[in-house]
């Protein structure tokens, strides 16, 4: 029989509950030390070449961390074993996928990896940290010293149907205006991507006049979805990396005259699709790593679109 003395019972009852891990003060410094350098937004280096986030994984905002990259979900709330970030910080530095890689910093201590693991187990809550997700809103917030300019794409755009927005959000999308008070939308599927199909994209049709930024990376869409997306004439940014989209799907984008960024990494897109993209004169950023686009094809497209950056690695 187990016996407890009254003093020990009173002591146990008086112990304070363990405080929940704070992302901003405890987790963010650890990730910044190990991962931030290789996993930020695409940037040009001193030679003008675009440096893309390693493995397509960005870690500069909650939506990017949850979304992950070509290797899977960056963070799976409640499950460290399915969280790419946690798995990578456990790897020995000699491993090609280790974070940080050899020569880029010291490996995390056991205590630091435990902070990341326990934060994930607690549900991966970000608190008030918004990262780059808040950049546009902050720049255009009332009282901002920066001058606000009207977006010509927003002219004539009506309010998006609330019931459609809710339905999309319930399927695992982050949905929001691209700037304060804008009716133009950014939609990114960050959860349950394996269940996002052509039927899901059909649900976006009532939002055709609102969507300007669409991320369908690592979903199960096919070329059939691209025919629908090709009608989203306000679209400026499109991410379809890690999908089964082919050259036939890219051909459906010929009417997207406002498109300035296309991410088609890890697809079957080849040089045959480049003629369509050459006609999109506003296109400035194109990412084709792990696709079938050749180095010569990438150079040809970049030459056809003056001032653009086309990357294949």
Q: Does residue 146 fall inside a structural domain?
A: no
136 lies in a domain? no
Residue 300 placed within a domain = yes
Q: What is the pLDDT of residue 44?
A: 62
Long-range contacts of 39-42 (CB under 8 A, 24+ apart): 41/132, 42/285, 42/287, 42/311
Question: Is 147 part of any domain?
Answer: no
Query: Residues 182, 95: one domain?
Result: no
On whether residue 197 sits in a domain, the answer given is yes
Domain match, 300 and 164 both = yes
Tokens of 231: 């009608």
- If asked whether residues 86 and 181 sit together in one domain, one would say no
pLDDT of res. 3: 47
What CATH number has the domain bearing residue 163?
3.80.10.10
Residues of the chain with pLDDT under 70: 1-18, 36-37, 43-51, 133-150
List 263's β-bridge partners, or say none.
239, 287
Same domain, 115 and 167: no
For residue 216, what are the domain limits? 159-311
Q: Are 56 and 217 in contact (CB under 8 A)?
A: yes
Is residue 135 in a domain?
no
Number of structural domains (the chain) is 2
Residues 206 and 114 in one domain: no
How far is 119 from 116, CA to CA, in rounded Å?
Answer: 5
Q: Which residues of 92-113 are buried (b: 16+ CB within 10 A; e: fewer)?
A: eeeeeebbbbeeeeebbeeebb
In this structure, are residues 39 and 57 in contact, taking their beta carbons and an 8 Å threshold? Answer: yes
Do 270 and 187 lie in one domain? The reply is yes
């Amino acid at each position: 029989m187990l016996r407890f003395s009254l003093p020990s019972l009173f002591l146990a009852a008086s112990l304070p509950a363990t405080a929940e891990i704070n992302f901003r003060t405890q987790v963010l410094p650890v990730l910044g030390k190990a991962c931030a350098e290789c996993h930020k937004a695409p940037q040009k280096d001193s030679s003008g070449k675009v440096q893309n986030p390693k493995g397509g994984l960005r870690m500069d905002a909650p939506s990017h961390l949850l979304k992950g990259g070509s290797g899977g979900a960056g963070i799976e709330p409640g499950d460290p074993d399915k969280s790419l970030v946690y798995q990578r910080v456990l790897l020995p530095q000699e491993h090609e996928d280790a974070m940080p890689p050899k020569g880029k910093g010291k490996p995390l201590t056991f205590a630091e990896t435990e902070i990341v693991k326990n934060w994930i187990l607690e549900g991966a809550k970000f608190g008030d940290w918004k990262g780059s997700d808040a950049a546009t809103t902050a720049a255009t917030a009332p009282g901002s010293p920066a001058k606000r300019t009207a977006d010509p794409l927003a002219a004539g755009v009506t309010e998006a149907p609330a019931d459609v927005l809710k339905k999309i959000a319930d399927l695992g999308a982050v949905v929001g205006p691209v700037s304060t008070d804008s009716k133009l939308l950014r939609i990114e599927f960050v959860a349950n991507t394996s269940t996002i199909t052509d039927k899901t994209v059909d649900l976006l049709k009532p939002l055709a006049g609102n969507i300007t930024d669409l991320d369908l990376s690592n979903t199960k869409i096919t070329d059939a979805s691209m025919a629908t997306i090709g009608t989203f004439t306000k679209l400026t940014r499109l991410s379809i990396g890690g999908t089964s989209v082919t050259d036939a799907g890219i051909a459906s984008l010929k009417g997207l005259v406002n498109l300035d960024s296309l991410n088609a990494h890890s697809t079957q897109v080849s040089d045959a699709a480049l003629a369509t993209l050459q006609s999109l004169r506003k296109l400035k950023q194109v990412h084709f790593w792990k696709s079938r686009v050749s180095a010569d094809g990438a150079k040809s497209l970049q030459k056809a679109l003056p001032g653009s950056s086309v990357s294949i690695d």
